[in-house]
Structure 1
């Protein structure tokens, strides 16, 4: 099933690009005989499914041809500018979970230092990719709305989900982005700016509206279904107190209970299955971003995560890839969250220490800081990646949402006063993760040990490099300020306090100059 949706991405990668490139605010029928419009592109449900594949592919690949050319966005590096790579950079590098070696264009290290400006090219990369995906979704939604075909109606709902997901990223990362929907016909206009309250309400209403239109949980691997929707709802509600200053923990629990009672998900017996080339077989993954070394070759996404974690004396062949890029490590403060960083007791302590020193004296030296071995482009049994594709790329799917995260969200929502859940169930969920991590009950905790601070640290241990850490630290009031410091926060080795407005990224200066409806809101969550 994974290969099925990935092959559709290959087949449909150009279709929606052609449509969005050619449609203006004119009547599509009057554009002339050489135009390509949705009326030409979409004739059958199969056509629509190929167009839908372009929406999914927008999270993985840069453009139309291959990993290093023909990006959908000009003047944006085809590797740096891939959606998932840009998202990973913004969610991980400003935290204690990741330090980056290369200097790049001068914009990457300020992400970890929390000294970025509105001209930062890596912030711009995420902003541009996110808004492009939203534009693709808008066009597909326009083309598919009103269809009476059951499959096309489902595709239409999936496109609305993917748009809601990208708008959730916009809410979480930027707070005050421009806002466009399918009702805004492409043409010469400047989008209006929204705010967290309006955007939260919009995402909430969209997810509610499409819930019954999406497929049942796990109806086809790699496609958005009701399980993915419930997880996105839970994320939105868990962070509502951050976004709109109104707690929605009960709503979070309600959404999560739907995940649990669906009966479609279970913890993988082996934690590491979730991060191997055959992780499409894991019963735990609720919504993946699919990767395939033959059909979705990219220097972003999981290829970046796997290659970027390898350097120093590490052997790339052990990770199932050609070469290491010597980019990302973790801070000593993060390593300290594991009682035994060797991984001998807690399997989630996936650190490489040989030739690496714990302290980071120089962010530009890969061997300063422990490396990470969590992701490998091999099967859990140690065999080669299933696609048989070029090992410059990978088959590992990115676990955007998985059951372990649902367990921990449930525990936190209960501890924060949400109703519809129990403290007993919250403890059982947390201990289920720890039993898997330790291989027995030796790491289990008691009810007296379960509090929100413990949950935050458990999320760090369980979800390392899965793009949750920045959002989690903001929810706890720890990303900025001086309460929690780590190596090179604020661009000092010991760490120093940073400004609260850095809980949000700035609207890129280039977009502010192009759109007079936008203003820089210099506040943070």
Structure 2
């Protein structure tokens, strides 16, 4: 599966390079969807191409900016201020001219159109069994549902079509959000659940359990609590998925094909087939290279420092009992070159940087044979004092380790090979927890979440990690989702879904608090899209932008 994503892209590039000669010398030899997708092999190629666009969203900077920042748990780091600060800050400069917004819009609609093409063409394929025909359609409809879910969540009621685009189309429609769900996302996923195989055709391909899991996410978003709980519980109980223990092993790059990951977007160690690669390793990490005993290396990553954890995120972990802190964040770096720190000789392998989550006197910091960086609870974006989290212009902070890629071939390589988990079993427990609580079934909700908290407990702390029915409320659910899913492209959606985006950003993200408004519950439509429609009166910009 890792190698199929770019096959059609490579072929398309070759066709495009020779396109002028083909058009002049032999027009009938130019392959078209109408011709190529009439065979089983051809429609399979089209289906594989439907996956390719996922790599433009998952594991990419643009996708992180639209799902991670501008929330209560992440703000701009040094690199975020230099690149797209308006997205996190909801500033007046956040407009339809944003390259990030435009890139994601274009990618999602490319994916949708490819899926539409497969769905529309699969019925014309000759010499194929009806079962396989339905499986191909179901796979494409699963992907279309996922693409459309991102579109309607990000932009609201924008353009919706279940037909492939042929030739140049200049008209766009504004479609109610409920139409996206009632005529697109839900029937697509229900068809996928009904017709996908129980086991994926190949690792990375979608299958029945992934469709049920995504449908559970959608039903939770729509407030269909009983159905969300039923589907999540079914995925938990009727498949062979298991929570990985201990939590930190979930992020071992040698353990990518683990039983907790229900479905992932595939990347590859082969640069020929890796496309842009998973670049998530760049964005969440401390710029350790300012330390005299450290130079950039593959293990510690290339630090772009885009995303800075907020004080609120730090407050969510009980670090004495919850292993998810150490399983999610790197706080110690070992020297990889010789140097002198605070008058002490530091050799490779010695501690070069150590972050602690409590205040430390400056005298103690100056006596340590390494950089001792402390936390005093000051707003993370405004710290200027000596060796405190947030200093060095927002470069110094605990690094999210979930996306680190120590298997990259060189220190400057941006195209990582780590697969990106889109759906994992822990999310199903969280969906079941919230859906049960919404139905006033607090005992059931506590039972679901305690399974996760038992896995998250440090050895011997399992009992202390348990919660009771009275502990479950919306704040607890959002806190637990933050602890479990931090950085995994859920947070902006979670806050929007629960109606808490504005209040939580105002309370916990001081960079964004002065600017965020009701209009920011959707993103600006790309200006390129607004400019090129021939019916601008029927396709206006989202209000306020």
User: Which category of TM-score, normalised to the shorter sequence, fits these structures?
Assistant: 0.7 to 0.9
Q: Work out which of the residue numbers 435, 439, 448 in structure 1 matches 2:454.
A: 435
| TM-score, normalising length: structure 1 | 0.80
CA contact (8 A) 2:80 2:307 kept: no
5 Å-filtered alignment, 1:96-495, equals: 96-101=72-77, 108-115=84-91, 116-147=94-125, 148-149=128-129, 150-182=131-163, 185-202=166-183, 203-218=185-200, 220-240=202-222, 247-295=223-271, 296-299=273-276, 302-303=278-279, 305-313=280-288, 320=299, 323-340=302-319, 346-352=325-331, 354=355, 359-361=380-382, 365-378=393-406, 384=407, 392-417=414-439, 423-439=442-458, 440-441=461-462, 442-481=464-503, 484-490=506-512, 495=513
CA contact (8 A) 2:492 2:501 kept: yes
| TM-score, normalising length: structure 2 | 0.77
CA-CA distance at 1:319 after TM superposition: 6.2
CA contact (8 A) 1:265 1:283 kept: yes
Relative CO higher for 1 or 2, CA cutoff 8 Å, sep ≥ 6?
Answer: 2
**For residues 109-148 of structure 1, what are the alpha-carbon distances to aligned partners after superposition, in whole Å with 9 as ceiling and x for unaligned?**
1111122222222112211111111122222223323444
Alignment partners' CA distance in 1, 2:541 and 2:89: 21
Alignment partners' CA distance in 2, 1:416 and 1:278: 38
Alignment partners' CA distance in 1, 2:250 and 2:178: 35
CA-CA distance at 1:482 after TM superposition: 6.7
Partner of 2:541: 520
5 Å-filtered alignment, 1:58-77, equals: 58-60=53-55
Q: Secondary structure, in 3 states, of the residue corresponding to 2:421?
A: strand
CA-CA distance at 1:299 after TM superposition: 4.5
Q: How many residue pairs end up in the alignment? A: 473
Q: Secondary structure, in 3 states, of the residue corresponding to 2:239?
A: coil
Q: Secondary structure, in 3 states, of the residue corresponding to 1:288?
A: strand
Alignment partners' CA distance in 2, 1:390 and 1:143: 43
Q: Secondary structure, in 3 states, of the residue corresponding to 1:235?
A: helix
CA contact (8 A) 1:112 1:488 kept: no
1:11 aligns with 2:7: yes
CA-CA distance at 1:347 after TM superposition: 3.8
CA-CA distance at 1:184 after TM superposition: 5.2
CA contact (8 A) 1:141 1:159 kept: yes
Structure 2 gaps of 5+ residues are 19-25, 332-353, 356-370, 384-389
Partner of 2:349: none
CA-CA distance at 1:404 after TM superposition: 0.3
Cα–Cα, structure 1 residues 210 and 343, in superposed 2: closer, same or farther, change >3 Å? Answer: closer
CA contact (8 A) 2:71 2:504 kept: no
**For residues 355-374 of structure 1, what are the alpha-carbon distances to aligned partners after superposition, in whole Å with 9 as ceiling and x for unaligned?**
66652227993425443223
Alignment partners' CA distance in 2, 1:417 and 1:306: 39
Q: Secondary structure, in 3 states, of the residue corresponding to 1:126?
A: helix
Q: Secondary structure, in 3 states, of the residue corresponding to 1:145?
A: helix
The worse-fitting range, judged by mean Cα deviation, of 351-360 and 431-440 is: 351-360
When the two chains are superposed, the root-mean-square deviation of aligned CA atoms in Å is 3.5
Q: Secondary structure, in 3 states, of the residue corresponding to 1:33?
A: helix
Structure 1 gaps of 5+ residues are 23-30, 62-80, 241-246, 379-383
CA-CA distance at 1:390 after TM superposition: 9.8
Alignment partners' CA distance in 1, 2:145 and 2:198: 18
